[in-house]
Amino acid sequence: MNALSKAALAGVVLLGVAGCSAEAGIVPEPSITVTPPVPTVTATVPPRQEVRVVLNPDEIQGGQSRNVRITAYCPPALPGTSYQASAHSDAFTGIVSLLAPAAQTPAPSAAPAPRLTGVAVLKASAKAGGYRVEVRCSATNDIGNARLQVLRSGNTADETRFPTKAPGAGGGGTAAGGPADESGIPVTPFAIGLLAAAGLGIAVARRRARG
């Protein structure tokens, strides 16, 4: 190899070494990843409201177990919640579950208002008076109230019945404040009659003696 070829080969080697050194000295720029913001979902909770509660019947006679139908107009359930309610009262035998009624067939032209229904059992031992019936909607936690009036049982009517005639007194007399016994003779008129007859007899006897 002549001197010219050696010089050319040496230049190529130097250029290759310089290129490698330059590439080794380059620092890569950091990459920036942009993540889009996640939208925030805010659930709107409706304000609490008084729930309308209807009892059928709202007046019932006590003394035995009877059924009372409860209808509560709870607001529609929120997504992911069940549409039901519970009712309780001191007049009932226990807590009553209120559920949505079965769908009507055929469906009515106008959709009925959302409501829940259930049947409560009146305690046979419930005393006469007014009882509060409270309903709580499970989905929205709204509350409604109604009043159940329990009437006095017919079996206790004799307990409040007053006597219309005073009992007769013993010993032949009349009871104090009571009516006189119609089968007996009043003592005072009978004594007056005897005295009048005796006086009349004495007067007749004296007249005959004088005559």
Check which CATH number belongs to the domain holding 143 and give it: 2.60.40.10
Single out the residue of 123, 136, 133, 11 nearest to residue 67, CA to CA.
123
pLDDT surpasses 90 at 134:
yes
Least confident residue range of 10-14, 163-167, 206-210:
163-167
Q: Is residue 43 part of a domain?
A: no
Query: What pLDDT does residue 158 have?
Result: 38
Q: Is residue 80 part of a domain?
A: yes
Q: What is the pTM of this model?
A: 0.50
Q: Is residue 94 part of a domain?
A: yes
pLDDT band at 125 (very low <50, low <70, confident <90, very high): very high
Q: Is residue 17 part of a domain?
A: no
Q: Is residue 18 part of a domain?
A: no
Burial class (CB in 10 A: 0-12, 13-18, 19+), 50: exposed
Task: Look up residue 14 and give its two tokens.
Answer: 């130097």
Domain that holds residue 124: 53-102+110-156
Q: What is the pLDDT of residues 153-168, one digit of tens each?
A: 875 443 444 444 444 4
| Average pLDDT of every residue of the chain | 73
Query: What pLDDT does residue 92 have?
Result: 96
Q: What is the pLDDT of residues 26-78, one digit of tens each?
A: 555 666 666 666 666 555 555 667 899 999 999 999 999 999 999 999 998 77
More confident residue, 187 or 111: 111
Give the helix/strand (H/E) hosting 122: none
Query: What pLDDT does residue 180 have?
Result: 41
Query: What pLDDT does residue 78 have?
Result: 76
pLDDT surpasses 60 at 15:
no
Q: Is residue 90 part of a domain?
A: yes
Q: Is residue 188 part of a domain?
A: no
Least confident residue range of 54-63, 147-156, 178-187:
178-187
Query: What pLDDT does residue 81 have?
Result: 80
Residue 23 CA to residue 1 CA, distance in Å, equals 32
Q: How many domains, the chain?
A: 1
Residue 70 CA to residue 58 CA, distance in Å, equals 10
133 DSSP 8-state letter:
E
Q: Is residue 86 part of a domain?
A: yes
pLDDT band at 146 (very low <50, low <70, confident <90, very high): very high
In the chain, % of residues over pLDDT 70: 48
